[in-house]
Structure 1
Amino acid sequence: MEIDNNPNPQWIQDETDKIRLSLLNELHRIENEVNEQFLSFKTDFDLRQPKICQTSKIISSDRQLNKTRLFIARNSILTDLFQTSHIRSLRNVFVAVLIIFVIQVAINDLVGNGRLNLHFELIFQCFANLHIALFIWLIMKLCTSVVVFMGFHYWSNNRISYLKNAKYLILPCREIVKHQLPVASSLIVLLEQLRQLMKTYSFVRENVEKVCLQCHKIMELNSNEDNDIEKITSPDFSKYLYFLFAPTLIYCDTYPRTAVIHWDYVLQMFGQVFASIVYVYYVVVRFCVPTFENLNQNEITLPIFITVLFNSIMPGSLFLLLGFYGFLHCWLNAFAEMLRFADRMFYKDWWNSTSFAAYYRTWNVVVHDWLYTYVYKEIFILSGRKNRVIPAVCVVLLSATFHEYVMIFALGFFYPVMFLLFGVVGMAFLFFLPRNKGVVYNILLWAFLLIGVGLQSCFYFMEAYARKSCPPNDTIWDKVIPRSVVCRVSLPSTKLLHIDL
């Protein structure tokens, strides 16, 4: 039997074609993967850019002011992070701590009182007269949705200026003082008042320019007598009503929408909001009430104050984290899901910030967009586009003023701790701390932030308990001067200032 040692040319050609096709397919696969990775990188890069309202673009040589507020479909950062088991474990740690708090308070009730105390008096006390707060909210919502829209519609069709009703600014504060609403109920009214004011300003500000452009165009067209008179069109009421409930403060005619509503996700978010409220309750009962009740019976020296201050850092830090998670993540995501609002970047990765400037920009993106669009940019343009310090100072002072406004009427007394820490100390950190990246600067920011929230918790609780124990003097200065400072002050021979609460 003979073996043919001569190779078949056709077989060689077939094998060569197979190898060539295999190489081409592999090159195409690599090329597609590279393109997908580049597209993903480009998309992530675009999403992380500063945002401005799309409907209020301002032509400027400054590249920061040229960028528009772009609403696109995206999840909140924590929504994506919770897909990772390691991040979910951190949330589980907080849940475990809450369970421990519940068990500890229950054991203390059993040992001290012989029975469980499940009445949650503190929560009901903070949310007392909730029906009055909701009625005030309904009045404000009707004024915002009907009066403002009808007034703007009347102005846009008649071009007649009108004065706004200033009672909207006074009514909530007057009703809070009249009915002596507690902290939680007052916060509902005050925060909703500010939210509706910002939404109203955005709606008017974004549509006035459109109406003026239409007026100018119609006047040009109507200069010819042969043309019919055109009517000015104003935004639909349905769009305005949707904007009033949407979790954004920047008005646009259209927003990206999701296809369906996941009601299980809505219930989950509202359930976590309720869990955050219960968490705050147990933190107050476990750490704050015992500390300041015992402090009320002793004189405060400098060592005692420092001890109380550092004991207030942990509960103050939990208030910060629970407020962020309960409102900025859970509450806003719940409403976004119910309204099919697809752009859910309500915050950025503020926990990775290495400067207070980055922290202010990323902590609350919803409010930051409004301040940047209608305060920072406007003042920057009016100042001649030469100085960024002036608009930045105005933004910080305006934000600090309204934060202090909320605290004054929610707590029922004037104690400008929030304004001093936010508007003075925070502004100093904003301009004088170096803006370098690195772990050290992130640690420093967290240290200053935790000390700040500890100071706020310490001073506000001290003043609240001082107003319970010290008698009022029935003068206007009693509401202005902190009672914890002037109630019982003595100068002992040891040269230490003692303040008895």
Structure 2
Amino acid sequence: MGKMKENGVRNRQKNGKQNGKQNGVSKHEDERKDEEFSIRQSPLTELIDSSLHIRAIYHIFVVILIMLLCDTVIYDLVERGKINIGLSVIAAGFGDIRRGLKLWVYDLCVVMAFYPLIMVYAFIGKYTRKYTVLRPAVVLLGVAGVIAVEVAIAAVPVVELARKHLELGSSVAVTCEMFRFLMKIVAVSAACGPRCLNGHLPLPTFKHYVYFMFSPTLLYRDQYPRTNKIRWGVVAFHLSEVAAIIFYNCFLWERFIMPYWSDYGKERTVEAGYLVRGMFACVLPGVISFLCGFYCVLHAWLNAWSEMLKFGDRLFYEDWWTTSRFSLYYRRWNRVVHSWLRDHIYLPLAPLTGRPLATFTVFFVSSIAHEVILALSFGFFYPVLLVEFGVLGVIMVPLTATSGKRFPNAFNLIMWLSFFIGNGILWSLYPMEYFARRNCPPSENDSFFIPKSWTCPEVILKPNWTFQNPLRILTN
């Protein structure tokens, strides 16, 4: 009965969206109302609990990890007399973690200091409320204060990572937390700024402010649906999944990526065939890492924090894997970030600039943020993801808007094909550049923004290579 009720609600929401299609921005306002918080589980939680088929797929991924471990352990033991299971990659990937923790604590202190600034701004707003001539100056003061806090949150980690690069895992953690705090501050400011000026609604307590900063959402609300108790067994299970997936990805890096790319740049030339073979070899581990990364962050990690904080709404994503339209994929893949982009960028801009420009701005901001995270994490600017996501992904949105509805099966296959190709490219080009900067000799032309792998090593064809007609055998 519960599932029937949920399906009925979704159908009513779908019909409401279709009825509002001609109303421009009102359609998205309806979506915003539909997405108010309620107690609900993540889709994969429901699928794994209710479907033996999905549970079997989950077990298959676990068995794949076990078999890969057995392969590496037995081979290394027989061939080299030692056991190597990827722990060295984990230790290296999270190197200098103390420095990364210091940067996170700094950002946390700035975020906590923002609360008393809100109280001060509310005091100023209260005593200048009757002086309407001062209202523009007070608004500008608030905007300037928010910008100053945002700069303080971002400046120190960016400067520190540029001055001395952290290892990949530590850098990813620091930069992702930096962006999370930046978006949280915007959400709090948008909710509390008008209250400070008008005094119509009370400001959040410090306890609720802290709760919001650690809750698995980027949208500020005065109240969230809460569960009755913390199931510590569920917390332990999800955190163990996070640890296992980190180990899994490091193992994939060591087992499949490093054999192809760790020596890239040590030789002055490399054959084109070797690059092609390596890029295709990275497709499957790239897709597995893509799926594991999604499950780790948007399911296991967020569900663990939800359980610890009794946060009831756990719809952090939807069934993006079944869609045939890129627009639906972008909305369903990460509802946490999508909701923030919708509320704080799209909806304010759409009435002023129109929906197309507002949509483009959302894609632009999101792709730039992703690229900044990768640039700070790797220590170089290489806009592969920017091109895939911010250019090709944007182009695919209108191309699949109608055709995806007419041919859902075909375009779902096309989407998955794009995931395979795109992740294979990502897991090839970024490691190539990463190891080229480590292995190639330094040059006066070295730059943060110019890829070194384009010039070192030189890509050549195999000696005496000639094109042979594959149909020749049919004509003989």
TM-score by length of 1: 0.81
Q: Once the 2 structures are TM-superposed, how far is the Cα of residue 115 of structure 1 from its aligned partner? A: 2.1
Q: Is 1:265–1:334's contact at 8 Å kept on the other side of the alignment?
A: yes
Name the CA distance, whole Å, in 1 between partners of 2:170 and 2:16. 35
- State the match for 2:163 in structure 1: 178
SS of the residue corresponding to residue 472 of structure 1 reads coil
Q: Is 2:266–2:440's contact at 8 Å kept on the other side of the alignment?
A: no
Deviations 1:290-320 (A, max 9, x none): 1224655664444333322211111110111
Change beyond 3 A, Cα 1:61–1:133: closer
User: For 1:447-462, what aligned pairs fall within 5 Å after superposition?
Assistant: 447-462=417-432
- State the match for 1:91 in structure 2: 58
Matched, 1:239 2:208: yes
- Aligned residue among 74, 84, 99 for 1:107: 74
- State the match for 1:340 in structure 2: 310
Matched, 1:378 2:348: yes
The structure with the largest helix share of the pair is 2
Name the CA distance, whole Å, in 2 between partners of 1:472 and 1:295. 14
Name the CA distance, whole Å, in 2 between partners of 1:408 and 1:353. 30
Deviations 1:125-162 (A, max 9, x none): 000111111121111111102x2111111111113425
Change beyond 3 A, Cα 1:313–1:233: same
Name the CA distance, whole Å, in 2 between partners of 1:351 and 1:170. 37
Name the CA distance, whole Å, in 1 between partners of 2:395 and 2:373. 23
Structure (1 or 2) with the larger CA radius of gyration: 1
- State the match for 1:30 in structure 2: none
Deviations 1:344-388 (A, max 9, x none): 0000001011011111110000000000111111110222xxx32
- Aligned residue among 119, 126, 129 for 2:93: 126
Q: Is 1:50–1:64's contact at 8 Å kept on the other side of the alignment?
A: no
Name the CA distance, whole Å, in 2 between partners of 1:415 and 1:61. 36
Task: Give the number of equivalent residue pairs.
Answer: 434
SS of the residue corresponding to residue 487 of structure 1 reads coil
- State the match for 1:42 in structure 2: 8
Higher deviation after alignment, 480-489 or 335-344: 480-489
Matched, 1:470 2:434: no
Q: Is 1:196–1:244's contact at 8 Å kept on the other side of the alignment?
A: yes
User: For 1:4-43, what aligned pairs fall within 5 Å after superposition?
Assistant: 39-43=5-9
C-alpha RMSD of the superposition: 2.5
- State the match for 1:483 in structure 2: 452
Q: Is 2:327–2:401's contact at 8 Å kept on the other side of the alignment?
A: no
Q: Once the 2 structures are TM-superposed, how far is the Cα of residue 285 of structure 1 from its aligned partner? A: 1.6
- State the match for 1:220 in structure 2: none
User: For 1:161-172, what aligned pairs fall within 5 Å after superposition?
Assistant: 161=141, 163=145, 164-165=148-149, 166-172=151-157
Q: Is 2:216–2:306's contact at 8 Å kept on the other side of the alignment?
A: yes
Percent of aligned pairs sharing the same letter = 30
Q: Once the 2 structures are TM-superposed, how far is the Cα of residue 39 of structure 1 from its aligned partner? A: 4.3
- State the match for 1:74 in structure 2: 40
- State the match for 1:229 in structure 2: none
Q: Once the 2 structures are TM-superposed, how far is the Cα of residue 243 of structure 1 from its aligned partner? A: 0.2
Q: Once the 2 structures are TM-superposed, how far is the Cα of residue 40 of structure 1 from its aligned partner? A: 4.7
Name the CA distance, whole Å, in 2 between partners of 1:286 and 1:48. 45
Matched, 1:255 2:224: yes
User: What code does the residue aligned with 1:86 have?
Assistant: H
Name the CA distance, whole Å, in 2 between partners of 1:192 and 1:174. 15
Name the CA distance, whole Å, in 2 between partners of 1:267 and 1:37. 27
User: What code does the residue aligned with 1:73 have?
Assistant: I
- Aligned residue among 280, 300, 303 for 2:249: 280
Matched, 1:206 2:175: no
Matched, 1:328 2:292: no
Q: Once the 2 structures are TM-superposed, how far is the Cα of residue 238 of structure 1 from its aligned partner? A: 1.1
Name the CA distance, whole Å, in 1 between partners of 2:175 and 2:286. 21
Deviating above 6 A after TM superposition, structure 1's stretches of 4 or more consecutive aligned residues are: 47-51, 490-496
Name the CA distance, whole Å, in 2 between partners of 1:114 and 1:243. 51
Name the CA distance, whole Å, in 1 between partners of 2:14 and 2:316. 13
Change beyond 3 A, Cα 1:99–1:494: closer
- State the match for 2:131 in structure 1: none
Change beyond 3 A, Cα 1:119–1:233: closer
Name the CA distance, whole Å, in 2 between partners of 1:106 and 1:136. 37
Q: Is 1:127–1:185's contact at 8 Å kept on the other side of the alignment?
A: yes
SS of the residue corresponding to residue 261 of structure 2 reads helix
Name the CA distance, whole Å, in 2 between partners of 1:186 and 1:462. 19
Deviations 1:418-470 (A, max 9, x none): 11111111111122334323111100011012111111111001111111211
SS of the residue corresponding to residue 442 of structure 1 reads helix
SS of the residue corresponding to residue 70 of structure 1 reads coil
Deviations 1:462-490 (A, max 9, x none): 11111121122255x52211111122437
- State the match for 1:15 in structure 2: none
Q: Once the 2 structures are TM-superposed, how far is the Cα of residue 169 of structure 1 from its aligned partner? A: 1.8
SS of the residue corresponding to residue 347 of structure 1 reads coil
Matched, 1:63 2:27: yes
Name the CA distance, whole Å, in 1 between partners of 2:459 and 2:180. 44
User: For 1:411-450, what aligned pairs fall within 5 Å after superposition?
Assistant: 411-435=378-402, 436-437=404-405, 438-450=408-420
Name the CA distance, whole Å, in 1 between partners of 2:193 and 2:422. 41
User: For 1:339-358, what aligned pairs fall within 5 Å after superposition?
Assistant: 339-358=309-328
Name the CA distance, whole Å, in 1 between partners of 2:88 and 2:59. 27
Name the CA distance, whole Å, in 1 between partners of 2:232 and 2:432. 42
Q: Is 1:472–1:478's contact at 8 Å kept on the other side of the alignment?
A: no
Q: Is 1:258–1:341's contact at 8 Å kept on the other side of the alignment?
A: yes
Change beyond 3 A, Cα 1:203–1:462: same
- State the match for 2:356 in structure 1: 389
Larger relative contact order (Cα-Cα within 8 Å, sequence gap ≥ 6): 2
Q: Once the 2 structures are TM-superposed, how far is the Cα of residue 47 of structure 1 from its aligned partner? A: 6.9
Unaligned runs of 5+ residues in structure 2 are 18-22, 126-137, 466-476
Unaligned runs of 5+ residues in structure 1 are 1-32, 52-58, 218-231, 497-501
Q: Once the 2 structures are TM-superposed, how far is the Cα of residue 48 of structure 1 from its aligned partner? A: 6.9
Name the CA distance, whole Å, in 1 between partners of 2:231 and 2:441. 53
